[in-house]
Structure 1
Amino acid sequence: MLRIGLTGGMGAGKSTVARILAEHGAVIVDSDLIAREVVAPGTEGLAALVEAFGADILAADGSLDRPVLAAKAFADDEARAKLNSITHPLVGKRTAELIGAAPADGIIVQDIPLLVENGLAPFMNLVLIVDVPAETRIRRLVEFRGVPENDARARIAAQATDEQRRAVADVLLDNSGPEGAVEPVVHELWERRLVPFERNLRTGTAAEAGAELVTTDPGWAAQAQRLIARLRVACGGAASSIEHIGPTAVPELPARDLLDIRVSIADAAALDGLCDALTASGFPPLAGGANDAEPGERLHGSADPGRPAIVRVQVAEQGGS
C-alpha cells in the first residue's frame, strides 16, 4: 500500500484536501481524530490520564476536560513527557491498526498536523503540503473559526515555518485561491501520480524518465535530499553513505530528469536483505544490466512516476592507502 503524509499549517485547508482524496478512494488516517478517540470516556487512555493527573481533568459528563489537562500537562517538561508517554503509544497502536486494516492496494493518507515538527516525512512514500501564506491562514482562522487574531498568530508561530514544510514537500498544493480551486489539482494528482505510484509500488515496477535532456532544475538538490532521507530509513544501519551523484548533482548542466543516488554499504552479505527493504519502501530493482550498472552494483529505481530515480547500491571498498 502507498503511504501519503498530508500536512499544512493551521487554516491551510488540509481537511478539504483530505476530503477530496477520500472521495477518490483514499483511506484517511486522521491523527487528531485518533488522539481524541484514544482518550474518549471508557478508554484505557482516559483512565491512565486520570491516574497520572487527577480526577479533576474530567468534565461533568465524564469526558476529558482538555483545557484543564493542558494547564497541568504543559506546566513543565516532566508533566509534558508524562502526557506523551501515555498518549503517543496509544495513538501509534491505533494508527497501526487502521493502516493494517486497509486493503493491500490501498492509498493511505495520514493526516498529521505535526508531521514536519515530529520528523515523520522520511517514513512516508510521499508528502503533500497544503500551502497557504501565513497572513491568509490567520485571516481564515479569525473570520471562519472565530479565533482571536493574537491567538491565531501565536499558534502559527509555534508550528513549523512555511520554509520547513516546503523543504519536505514532494507535492505543494496551493490552496490560497477561491473555494473549490484546489479540487481539480488534487484530482489530477490522484489520477496521474498517486494511482500509478501505488500500482508501481505493489508490482515492484520502477517509473521511467524521459530520454530528452532538460535545462537545469533548481529543485533537483532538494528532491534528492528527500529521497536520501527515505533511503536512510529503508537501509537502517546498512548504509555507510548515501550521495546524490551524476548529472543532476551538477547544477549548471542540462540532464535527463532522473536523479542518481549512490548507496554505499560495508557488508556484501547485506545486499539481498537490503534489496527487499528498498523494494518495500518504493525503490524496486531495475532489470539486470540496465542503465550501465558497474560490476557488483545493484540498481534500483523509484516507483514514484513524479520523481524517477536510479539508486546504485554498491559495496564500499575496505581499507585504503
Structure 2
Amino acid sequence: MLRVGLTGGIGAGKSTVARRLAEHGAVVLDADRIAREVVEPGTEGLAEVVAAFGTDVLTADGALDRAALAGRVFGDDAARQRLNAILHPRIGARTAELMAAAPPDAIVVHDVPLLVENGLAPTYHLVLVVHADVRARVRRLAATRGMTERDARARVAAQASDEQRRAAADVWLDNTGEPERVLADVDVLWTDRLVPFEANVRYGRGAQCSVPVLVEPDPTWPAQAERLAARVRLAAGETALRVDHVGSTAVPGLAAKDVIDLQLTVASLDDADAIAGALGQAGFPYLPGFDQDDPKPGDPDPERWRKRVHTNADPGRRVNLHVRVLGSPGWRQTLLFRDWLRADAPARTEYEQLKRRLVKEDVDIEGYVAGKRPWFDDALPRAENWARRTGWTP
C-alpha cells in the first residue's frame, strides 16, 4: 500500500486533483468528511462534545451546529484543546480503520487541508501539494463560496504559507491556470511515479531509475533530504540515534549526482536489521550486497566497516540510506568528509574536478566509484589534520 498525503490552500483546487486520482483508482480518504462523520447524530463523539460544551452547540434537529461550536472555542485555547482531545483520537482511529480496509495494493490518497499545519508530512510515502496563486484562489472562493475579497484573503492568510508548503511537498502541482493542465500532470504522476512506487513498496524492491549523471548544485537538496530524513526517523523510532544528510548533495556548491545520501546512526547492526522491515514499508527497501565500506589494507578488524544499505522505492527520487553503527570508522569518515568539504573550498574544487573528469571518461557507475577511491585515500590525512586543527567532532 502506498500512502499519499494531498493538501493545498483553500481555493487551490485540491478537490480537482483528488477526483482525478480517484478516477485512476486511488482510494481517497477525505479528512473533512471523516471529521464530520465522528460527530454525526448518535455518535459517542457528538455526545462527548455536548457534554463538554452544552446543548447550545446543537441545531434544532440534534446535529452539531458547527458555527456555534466555533464561536465557543474561537480565541479560547483551553476550549480548543478540550475539543481537539475529543475529536482527534476519533478522527485518527477512523482514518486508520479506513486505511486498513483498503486493498493491499491500494494507492491511498489522504486529502488533508491542514497537513502542513499539523506536521503530518512524515507519515506518508509522498506528499502532493496543490498550488494556485492568491489572485486565482480569491477569484475561485468568490465564485464558489460567495466570499468577499477581504474574507477570502483573510482565509488564505490564516493558512500555511507557500514556503511552508514547499518545504513539505515532494510534488508541487500548479493549478493556477486551466484545470486541464494540472489534470495532465496528475495523469503523468499516476502512471510514472505512483503506480510503480506502490508496487516497489509492496514487493520490497528498489526503484528502476535512470543512470545518474553529474548535475549542477540544486539548492533544494537539503530540503529534500530533510523530508526523507523525517520519514526515516519516524520508521526507525527510538532505534534512530540520528539521521544526517551526507554525500555530495550535502555540500553546498558542489556538483553531484542527483542522489540524496542519508546516514542513519544506530547502536548496533542487530538494531539495523531489526528495523529493516519498517524502513522498507516506509519506502526504503534493503539493498543486499553493499554491507561493507572499504576497510583499509591491514585493518585488524575489518568487521568495523560493516553497514546496511537501503535504497529508494520511489522512482522519482534516488536515495541511498546508509545504516552505520555509532562510532564505527565508516560512520565517522562519512561525517568528516562532508564537513571538511563544506569548509575547504580548494578541496571542494579539487574533488569536483575529479568527478567531472570521470564523467567525461564515460565510465559506468562502478568505474566512477572506483575512480574516486584513490582521491579519498589521499585526502583522508588532510581531512584529519583539519579535524585536529579545528577541534571537529562528529
The one-letter amino acid paired with 2:32 is: D
Of 119-128 and 151-160, the range deviating more from structure 2:
151-160
User: 1:73-222 maps to which residues of 2 (within 5 A)?
Assistant: 73-207=73-207, 208-222=209-223
Report the Cα distance in structure 1 between the residues aligned to 2:77 and 2:227, rounded to whole angstroms: 31
CA deviations 1:110-129 (Å, max 9, x no partner) are 00000000000011100000
Runs of 4+ residues over 4 Å off in structure 1: 290-294
Residue pair 2:9, 2:159 contacting (<8 A) in 1 also? yes
Displacement of 1:184 in angstroms is 0.9
Report the Cα distance in structure 2 between the residues aligned to 1:291 and 1:308, rounded to whole angstroms: 20
Match of 2:344 in 1: none
Displacement of 1:146 in angstroms is 0.5
Match of 2:60 in 1: 60
Match of 1:240 in 2: 241
Displacement of 1:52 in angstroms is 1.1
Displacement of 1:292 in angstroms is 5.9
Residue pair 1:10, 1:137 contacting (<8 A) in 2 also? yes
CA deviations 1:35-77 (Å, max 9, x no partner) are 1111111111111111111111111122111111111122411
Match of 1:306 in 2: 316
CA deviations 1:129-156 (Å, max 9, x no partner) are 0011123212211233201222222221
Q: Which runs of 5+ in 2 are unaligned?
A: 296-304, 333-392
Displacement of 1:234 in angstroms is 1.1
Is the partner of 1:182 in helix, strand or coil? helix
Match of 2:288 in 1: 287
Report the Cα distance in structure 2 between the residues aligned to 1:75 and 1:62, rounded to whole angstroms: 25
Residue pair 1:201, 1:303 contacting (<8 A) in 2 also? yes
Of 10-19 and 230-239, the range deviating more from structure 2:
230-239
Match of 1:253 in 2: 254
Of 65-74 and 101-110, the range deviating more from structure 2:
65-74
Report the Cα distance in structure 2 between the residues aligned to 1:293 and 1:228, rounded to whole angstroms: 25
TM-score normalised by the chain length of structure 2: 0.78
Residue pair 1:122, 1:233 contacting (<8 A) in 2 also? yes
Residue pair 2:291, 2:308 contacting (<8 A) in 1 also? no
Of 58-67 and 189-198, the range deviating more from structure 2:
58-67
293 and 122 in structure 1: CA distance in 2 versus 1, 3 angstrom threshold: farther
Residue pair 1:248, 1:260 contacting (<8 A) in 2 also? yes
Displacement of 1:196 in angstroms is 0.6
Of 81-90 and 15-24, the range deviating more from structure 2:
81-90
Report the Cα distance in structure 1 between the residues aligned to 2:106 and 2:292, rounded to whole angstroms: 31
Return the structure number with greater relative CO, CA threshold 8 A, min gap 6: 1
Provide the identity percentage.
56
The one-letter amino acid paired with 1:241 is: R
Is the partner of 2:190 in helix, strand or coil? helix
Report the Cα distance in structure 1 between the residues aligned to 2:147 and 2:137, rounded to whole angstroms: 11
The one-letter amino acid paired with 1:124 is: Y
The one-letter amino acid paired with 1:312 is: H
CA deviations 1:228-263 (Å, max 9, x no partner) are 111111111212221111122223332222111111
2:57 maps to 1:47: no
Residue pair 1:142, 1:152 contacting (<8 A) in 2 also? yes
Displacement of 1:103 in angstroms is 0.4
Report the Cα distance in structure 2 between the residues aligned to 1:284 and 1:242, rounded to whole angstroms: 17
Larger Rg, first or second structure (1 or 2): 2
Match of 1:316 in 2: 326
Residue pair 1:210, 1:256 contacting (<8 A) in 2 also? no
When the two structures are aligned, how many residues end up with a matched partner?
A: 320
Report the Cα distance in structure 2 between the residues aligned to 1:177 and 1:40, rounded to whole angstroms: 37
Residue pair 1:50, 1:57 contacting (<8 A) in 2 also? yes
Of 43-52 and 143-152, the range deviating more from structure 2:
143-152
Residue pair 2:17, 2:186 contacting (<8 A) in 1 also? yes
Is the partner of 2:317 in helix, strand or coil? coil
RMSD over aligned CA atoms reads 1.8
Residue pair 1:209, 1:256 contacting (<8 A) in 2 also? no
The one-letter amino acid paired with 2:223 is: A
193 and 73 in structure 1: CA distance in 2 versus 1, 3 angstrom threshold: same
More helix by share: 2
65 and 211 in structure 1: CA distance in 2 versus 1, 3 angstrom threshold: closer
The equivalent position to 1:297 in structure 2, one of 301, 307, 319, is 307
Of 171-180 and 246-255, the range deviating more from structure 2:
246-255
Is the partner of 1:312 in helix, strand or coil? strand
Residue pair 2:293, 2:307 contacting (<8 A) in 1 also? no
CA deviations 1:79-102 (Å, max 9, x no partner) are 111111111111111101100000
The one-letter amino acid paired with 1:125 is: H
Residue pair 2:291, 2:306 contacting (<8 A) in 1 also? no
Q: Which runs of 5+ in 1 are unaligned?
A: none
Displacement of 1:209 in angstroms is 4.6
The one-letter amino acid paired with 1:308 is: R
Report the Cα distance in structure 2 between the residues aligned to 1:28 and 1:237, rounded to whole angstroms: 31
Is the partner of 1:314 in helix, strand or coil? strand
Residue pair 1:209, 1:308 contacting (<8 A) in 2 also? no
The one-letter amino acid paired with 1:37 is: E
Report the Cα distance in structure 1 between the residues aligned to 2:145 and 2:306, rounded to whole angstroms: 59
Report the Cα distance in structure 2 between the residues aligned to 1:6 and 1:114, rounded to whole angstroms: 10
TM-score normalised by the chain length of structure 1: 0.95
